[in-house]
Amino acid sequence: MLAENLELIETIGLNLFFLIIFFFIGMSIHDVMKKNNVPKKGQFVVYFVLFLGCAGFIAKGIIQFVWETRGIG
């Protein structure tokens, strides 16, 4: 049974890995900005760019899922 679901397990593990990495990147950026007294406007820009990076990975996952279910990819 494990061999049949190996690809699914790998996909879930990789997605969780990306989630954890983005969390740690966000925490480190937050720490650096607080220590250096970055203004609110700068913090907004940095968090917005980090969000766009996360949204890109989410969009890639959705597009990949849709293509695979339709038999395109």
Q: pTM for the complete prediction?
A: 0.70
Distance between alpha carbon 12 and the CA centroid of its chain, in Å? 13
- Domain membership of residue 54 as a residue range: 1-70
pLDDT reported for residue 47: 92
The one-letter code for the residue type at 19 is L
Which residue ranges in the chain fall short of pLDDT 50? none
**Number of domains the chain is built from:** 1
pLDDT reported for residue 18: 86
CB atoms within 10 A of CB 47: 14
